Structure 1
Amino acid sequence: MTALNRYYWPTKYESRKTFINQNVKCVFISYQNKDKTEAKKIADYLISAGINVYFDEYDGDLKSSNQSSNPNNVTESLCKGINNSSHMLVVVSPSTIISKWVPFEIGYGYDKTDLSVLCLKGIPKGGLPEYIRTAKIIRDLWDLKLKLRNMIDSNNTPLLETKLSNYETNLNPLRGIMDNLINDIY
């Protein structure tokens, strides 16, 4: 089965119990709007590796709620996205600290999802806001590969390994936005 943005998935779960019982895996991408380009690259990378995501750029309900400045509908759309996700990946950059929605998404999804924080290139070790320091921190491409390997069903491991095996090469689409462990060591 091909991975996709879960917004397009035909089944939207209203109940987390149903979602969990069906062992559905999906990553909610949380980010500050200034980091949309990087967040989209991350979402596309996960999809290409066979992992479903919820990326709000494709959520028409959320877009119309934002355009009409309707915070109740924005909140409802975000909650549905989180409820349909098993994991949350918070994209952190210097602009994350000014986000109005990232703290809400983390708070709502904290005990509903497996929470991880993906640091964009150059985030210093002490530079993370306190409210996300308790999550698993992904600082480089190697950490991301390990996280994805642990997340997916073992039946899909060969697909993941094939898609992510060259994480250290110049061809990796996340190379310019994340640190690379091998280059950072040598």
Structure 2
Amino acid sequence: MAINRFYSTKQISRNSFLALGIKCVFISHQQKDKESAKKITDYLIAAGIDVYFDEYDKDLKIHHQSNNPKAVTDAIRTGINNSSHMLVVVSPNTLYSTWVPFEIGYGYDKTDLYALCLKGIPYRGLPEYVRSATIIRDIYDLNNLISRISKVDKEILLQKRMMSDYGNQTNPLRNVMDALINDSYS
């Protein structure tokens, strides 16, 4: 069973975390995209992937509410330090984020960095600081990424219903991401 790793690795050092060999995805997103980010988080957890998602970090919420940027920064750094991968949820709102660029900068050389495009995001809609990441354009790409991270064949994950085929009309991400995009970004 996958979990939100905020609960179990909060006090662990980066080197200790890496030594454990745990695969955990830090979900970076602009607050206006929280609902979409939550659906993506739930999809990853259902597929057996551990995540760090800020919604469950009560300390982070308190620091935001008390307008304590140093403590917010420390909480974000802890989340990234306890993650092997970072998935940046990209929408038009990302352009106005104050924290997503910081998260990408801090996690760039610590995690495997991916940018996940929400439904209808064209390449020209990606902020320049995101274009250096591997782009996850659609549900098909996300399913492939889940298979690579979990080291479980995609067909097995589909058969066990740990994830849903990109073309399935009941896929929980159907309204969040494009199913399959065939044109290239070049």
TM-score when normalising by structure 2: 0.91
Structure 1 residues 106-115 or 160-169, which shifts more? Answer: 160-169
Question: Please, which of 35, 38, 57 is the counterpart of residue 37 of structure 1?
Answer: 35
Question: Once the 2 structures are TM-superposed, how far is the Cα of residue 7 of structure 1 from its aligned partner?
Answer: 1.2
1:4 counterpart residue number: 3
Query: Does the aligned pair in 2 maintain the 1:34–1:95 contact within 8 Å?
Result: yes
* Residue 111 of structure 2 is aligned to residue 89 of structure 1: no
Amino acid at match of 1:135: A
Question: Please, which of 133, 141, 151 is the counterpart of residue 131 of structure 2?
Answer: 133
Structure 1 residues 165-174 or 81-90, which shifts more? Answer: 165-174
Query: Does the aligned pair in 1 maintain the 2:143–2:154 contact within 8 Å?
Result: no
Contiguous gaps of at least 5 residues in structure 1: none
Query: Does the aligned pair in 2 maintain the 1:13–1:83 contact within 8 Å?
Result: no
Query: Does the aligned pair in 1 maintain the 2:2–2:45 contact within 8 Å?
Result: yes
* Alpha-carbon separation, structure 2, partners of 1:118 and 1:84: 20
User: Tell me, what secondary structure is at the counterpart of 2:178?
Assistant: coil
Question: Once the 2 structures are TM-superposed, how far is the Cα of residue 111 of structure 1 from its aligned partner?
Answer: 0.3
* Count of equivalent residues: 182
TM-align CA RMSD: 1.9
User: Residues 55 and 124 from structure 1, CA distance in 2 versus in 1: closer, same or farther, beyond 3 angstroms?
Assistant: same
Write the mapping of 1:52-91 to structure 2, written as runs, cut at 5 A: 52-91=50-89
Task: Provide Cα deviations, 1:121-176, integer angstroms capped at 9, x if missing partner.
Answer: 01112211111101100011101111111111349983466322533211111111
1:25 counterpart residue number: 23
Task: Provide Cα deviations, 1:62-93, integer angstroms capped at 9, x if missing partner.
Answer: 00000100001100000000001000000000
* Alpha-carbon separation, structure 1, partners of 2:177 and 2:163: 14
Question: Please, which of 79, 102, 105 is the counterpart of residue 104 of structure 1?
Answer: 102
User: Residues 157 and 61 from structure 1, CA distance in 2 versus in 1: closer, same or farther, beyond 3 angstroms?
Assistant: farther
2:177 counterpart residue number: 178
* Alpha-carbon separation, structure 1, partners of 2:153 and 2:21: 13
Question: Once the 2 structures are TM-superposed, how far is the Cα of residue 22 of structure 1 from its aligned partner?
Answer: 1.1
Question: Once the 2 structures are TM-superposed, how far is the Cα of residue 4 of structure 1 from its aligned partner?
Answer: 0.9
Structure 1 residues 122-131 or 68-77, which shifts more? Answer: 122-131
* Alpha-carbon separation, structure 2, partners of 1:29 and 1:23: 19
Query: Does the aligned pair in 2 maintain the 1:13–1:19 contact within 8 Å?
Result: no
Structure 1 residues 154-163 or 135-144, which shifts more? Answer: 154-163
